[in-house]
Amino acid sequence: MKTKLLTRIRRVQVASLVLAFLLLLSACGSGDSSTTTDGSGDTTVTSTAETMSSSGVDVGLFFDGALAEDATTEACILSDGTETTCYRITVAGDPVTYETGPFCPETIADSADAGGIWFDGNGVYDIDGDFIVGLADLYDDDNWMMYDEDGNVLVTETLEEFEAAARPDVDPALQNHCVEGRLEWLEGGEPISTTVLIPVEPVLADSASTTNGNLGVTLDGVVIAASAPVDAILAAYTIAAFDDCGGHYNPFDGYHLHGAVGCSELDEISEGDTAMFAYAMDGFPVFSPLHDADAFDLDECNGHETEEHGYHYHANGAEENQVIECLIGKTVAGAEGPGGGPPAGGGG
């Protein structure tokens, strides 16, 4: 209750700030379009979110504690040279709405409660004992053997093992391991924060695009990473286990999300829709996957415009290993923050 009230208060404050900012803008005669100059000296005029209604990024929607520092605004240049205003947002790096884990089960007798999930672009699986035993069948390769003769699952158990497994050239000794990291193994035992620049008002791009970098940030303080490098992970006979919220640790980025399964959501849900849980790098909101996406008229990026929420994306199901299908708006070049998913193997 307390949290919610504080959030509301913060939202009101932000709203006033935004209003003041808009008044300032119109005083300068900028209105809702901006004039920009690209490198060639040509002048282009762009309108903000021309056909898509969007109220822009509302930093008041982030949960208390999700941001490592207050969001600030600054001038920024989008990938095509468009000049606009961006929020500098630093997510704290560990979700404030849930405890991370569990990731890997301890024994092959364990139920789904003892482990998280795995997804590989084809399906999403509970990582229980049966899943560990069934790996050779699932991937049609008898080299899979992720448990010992006593039925104990082979799991990364030290920082050294974690680091040796969560890299492109997985240490052969750690093949056939269920790879899991822990907060306490990150530097200083602290979450790794990530700073991103996101346009305050989304600016439509000429065409949809995908990015190799981070795709967005959740409202509870976690980076949405690009697809996990599943092929490399499986080639090393490892499983880079996700928890039941679709995230996991690696030594470079800390905890990050690869699959959307309904965590980190706002309370408000309007009828027929799912709840918002993130902002994409182009400034449009991201909502949880639709249960029956075919029943909606979604665009190529799984987005649609509704009266209540304006334009927003719906995340892919976790099985797709790609939280956001693509972006219709422009992003700040190189704004995805450090890492953006290094070519990691087991850690992904």
Asked whether the beta carbons of 330 and 203 are under 8 A apart, the reply is yes
Give the nearer residue to Zn ion in terms of CB position, either 32 or 268: 268
Pattern of binders to Zn ion over 232-251, x per CB under 5 A?
--------------------
Q: Is 191 in the site for Zn ion (CB under 5 A)?
A: no
Widest CA span in the chain: 75
Q: Which stretch binds Zn ion (CB under 5 A): 51-59, 183-191, 316-324, 340-348?
A: 340-348
Q: Closest approach of Cβ 261 to Zn ion, in Å?
A: 15
Give the nearer residue to Zn ion in terms of CB position, either 129 or 254: 254
In this structure, the number of other CB atoms found within 10 A of the CB of residue 110 comes to 20
Size of the site for Zn ion (CB under 5 A): 3
CA–CA distances in Å: residue 119 to residues 148, 218, 243: 24, 20, 11
Give the nearer residue to Zn ion in terms of CB position, either 94 or 273: 273
Closest CA to 348 of 236, 193, 273: 236
Q: Which two tokens stand for residue 192?
A: 């790794």
Residue closest to Zn ion (Cβ): 348
Give the nearer residue to Zn ion in terms of CB position, either 259 or 348: 348
Q: Is 265 in the site for Zn ion (CB under 5 A)?
A: no
Q: Is 348 in the site for Zn ion (CB under 5 A)?
A: yes
Q: CA gyration radius for the chain?
A: 21
Give the nearer residue to Zn ion in terms of CB position, either 147 or 255: 255
Q: Is 180 in the site for Zn ion (CB under 5 A)?
A: no
Of the candidate residues 120, 273, 282, 320, the single one contacting Zn ion (CB under 5 A): 273
Give the nearer residue to Zn ion in terms of CB position, either 110 or 273: 273
Q: Is 336 in the site for Zn ion (CB under 5 A)?
A: no
**b/e 233-260 (16+ beta carbons within 10 angstroms → b):** bbebbbbbbbbbbbbbbbbbbbbbbbbb
Q: Closest approach of Cβ 273 to Zn ion, in Å?
A: 4
Give the nearer residue to Zn ion in terms of CB position, either 57 or 228: 228
Q: Is 161 in the site for Zn ion (CB under 5 A)?
A: no
Q: Which two tokens stand for residue 16?
A: 């006033």
Q: Which stretch binds Zn ion (CB under 5 A): 7-15, 151-159, 203-211, 223-231?
A: 223-231
Q: Closest approach of Cβ 284 to Zn ion, in Å?
A: 11
Q: Quote helix, strand, coil % in the chain, to nearest 5.
A: 20, 25, 55
Q: Is 303 in the site for Zn ion (CB under 5 A)?
A: no
Q: Closest approach of Cβ 276 to Zn ion, in Å?
A: 9
Q: Closest approach of Cβ 69 to Zn ion, in Å?
A: 24
Q: Which residues pair with 199 in a beta bridge?
A: 86
Q: Is 102 in the site for Zn ion (CB under 5 A)?
A: no
Q: Which stretch binds Zn ion (CB under 5 A): 7-15, 55-63, 181-189, 266-274?
A: 266-274
Cβ neighbors of 55 (< 8 A, separation 6 or more) are: 310
Q: Which residues pair with 90 in a beta bridge?
A: 195
Q: Closest approach of Cβ 285 to Zn ion, in Å?
A: 9
Q: Is 289 in the site for Zn ion (CB under 5 A)?
A: no
Cβ neighbors of 220 (< 8 A, separation 6 or more) are: 62, 63, 66, 95, 96, 97, 98, 263, 264, 277
Q: Which two tokens stand for residue 195?
A: 């700073």
How buried is 10 (Cβ within 10 angstroms: 0-12 exposed, 13-18 middle, 19+ buried)?
middle
Give the nearer residue to Zn ion in terms of CB position, either 90 or 250: 250
Q: Which two tokens stand for residue 184?
A: 């306490």
Asked whether the beta carbons of 240 and 248 are under 8 A apart, the reply is yes
Give the nearer residue to Zn ion in terms of CB position, either 128 or 273: 273
Using CB under 5 A, list all residues that contact Zn ion.
228, 273, 348
